[in-house]
Structure 1
Amino acid sequence: MLGETKRDRVAERRAATRREILDAAWAQAREVGIANITLRDIAREVGMQPPSLYSHFDSKNAVYDAMYAEAWAEYEAHALAQLDDVPAHPRAAIHRAGRVFFDFAVADLARHQLMNQRTIPGFEPTAEAYAPAVRVLDHGIAFLASQGVTERADFDIWISLIGGLIDQQLANDPGGDRFSRLLERAIDMFADAVGMPPLPQKHPTRRKAGTPR
C-alpha cells in the first residue's frame, strides 16, 4: 500500500539480539559482580559463539557503555515520572527527591556501582552514554536551585550525603533498612544547614469529650 513503511527485519533482528546480550550482561553482573562479567559467559548465555558477539559489541567496555547509558536513561525516566509533581514546601520537595534516588540506587547493587562508582578499571563512558547522566545532574542542580539551594558546594554536599547513605546501606545492610531509616534525618540536617524553613507543625486532633483514650 502507498505510504506504508517497509520493515527492516535485519535491523529488528540485530536490535533484538543486542537486547538479549544486554539482558544477559545485567543478569551476569547481578550474579558475579559488575566488574566480573565476561563476553564468553554472555555469549554462552545467549547461545552464540564469542566471535559472533563482537559483531554487536566490539569489546567488553562497549557492553559496559551500553549498560551505563541504559541505567542512567532508566533513572532519568523514573525521576521525571516520580518528581513531576513534588510538594510545594522546599523541605518536603527535597525529601521526595532524595528518597527517589536512594530507593532506585539500593534496588540494584550492580547498576548502582556502574552508574555511580569507578568499579571497573579502565572504563570511561563515551560522551553519548554519559549524556543521560549529564542531563540528570543538570536537572538536579536546577531542582535544588528551585528550592533555594543555589551554591554548587551545597549541591556537592547533597549528592555526597545521599550517595554515602546508599553506599552504607548496600555495604552493611543489603536488603534491610538500617540506613534507609536515617535518610529523612540526614536530609533534615542538610535542610537546616542551608537555611530551609521547617515543615509546618501538625497539631494533634482535639479529642471529643466522652471518647475513650
Structure 2
Amino acid sequence: MSTAPSFDRRARRREQTIDEILAAAVRLMEAEGVAGLSLSAVAREVGMRPPSLYQYFPSKMAIYDALFRRGAEAFRDVRRETVRTAVAADPLELERICTIEFGRWCMANPIHSQLLFWRTVPGFTPSPEAYAPAQETMEDLRGNLRAAVAAGLLHPDAVSDDGIALYTSVTAGVLSQQLANEPDASYDDGRFTRLLPAVLEMFQQRYAPPRG
C-alpha cells in the first residue's frame, strides 16, 4: 500500500502550521516591535508549548529568516507581475511604475519591509537561501535600468554599483521616512510617499544621458 497520500497530508499539515506560526509572529511584531519577538509568545499565540515550536523553528532567528524569505519572494513577484502587466512607453516609465508598486507593497507590509530594508533586529543576517529572492529583484532592477541606458534615457553610470546604491537609497529612504512618521497613512496620502516621483526625477537628472 502506498504511503504517499499519508505523507502528503502530513506535509500539508506541517506547512499549515508553519503558516500559522509565521502569521502569529507578524501579529506579535506589529504589537511589540520587530525586535521584541519571543518564541514563548509565539508558542502561546498558536496554542503550542515551546518545545513543540522548536520542531518547526529551532530559534527566533529562524522565524526572522523565514519571514525575510517570504517577504523577498513576495516583493520579487509583485515587481515581476507589474512588469508583465504594465503599459509603459519606455523603460524609465516602467521603472517608475515598479517603484510606486514597491512603495505600495511596503506600506501594506510594514513588518516584512523592516526585515528586508532596515536592520531592526540586532544580530540577524538572512541566510543565503532567504536572501536569494532579494538578489533576483536587484538583478531585475539593474536589467530595467540597462534597458533605459540602451534606449538613450540614462547615462551608463546609472547601472554602476554606485548608481544602483543611489537608486535604492533614495527610494527606500522615502519609504523609511513614511513608515517612521506616518505608518497609518495610505500610500497616496502619505507626506513622504508623495515625494517618490520627485525622487525618481532627481535620479534621472543625476544620470542624464550624454549629449549627442
TM-score, shorter chain, exceeding 0.5: yes
User: Hey, what's the Cα distance between the residues in 2 that align with 1:26 and 1:174?
Assistant: 16
Given the superposition, is the C-alpha separation of residues 11 and 90 from structure 1 closer, same or farther in structure 2, using an over 3 Å criterion?
closer
Distance (whole Å) between structure 1 residues aligned to residue 60 and residue 118 of structure 2: 18
Question: What is the aligned partner in structure 2 of residue 12 from structure 1?
Answer: 12
Given the two structures, how large is their TM-score scaled by the length of structure 1? 0.85
Q: Choose between structure 1 and 2: higher helix proportion.
A: 2
Which runs of structure 2 are paired with 1:198-213 in the superposition (5 Å)?
none
Q: Secondary structure at the match of 1:105?
A: helix
Q: Deviations over 1:147-192 (max 9, x none)?
A: 1143221111110110110111111222331011111111111112
Q: Which residue of structure 1 aligns with residue 108 of structure 2? A: 107
Q: Secondary structure at the match of 2:159?
A: coil
Does 1:189 find its partner at 2:206? no
What's the C-alpha RMSD, in Å, of the aligned pairs?
2.1
Are 2:76 and 2:133, in contact at CA under 8 Å, matched by a contact in 1?
yes
Regions of 4+ moved over 4 Å? none
Give 3-state SS (helix, strand or coil) of 1:19's partner: helix
2:169 to 160, 175, 182: 160
Unaligned runs of 5+ in 2: 150-157
Aligned pairs, number: 196
Once the 2 structures are TM-superposed, how far is the Cα of residue 133 of structure 1 from its aligned partner? 0.9
Name the structure 2 match of 1:68: 68
Please tell me whether residue 92 in structure 1 is matched to residue 77 in structure 2: no
Over the matched positions of the two proteins, sequence identity in percent amounts to: 34
Does residue 36 (structure 1) correspond to residue 36 (structure 2)? The answer is: yes
**Helix, strand or coil at the partner of 1:122:** coil
Unpaired runs of at least 5, structure 1:
198-213
TM norm structure 2: 0.85
Larger Rg: 1
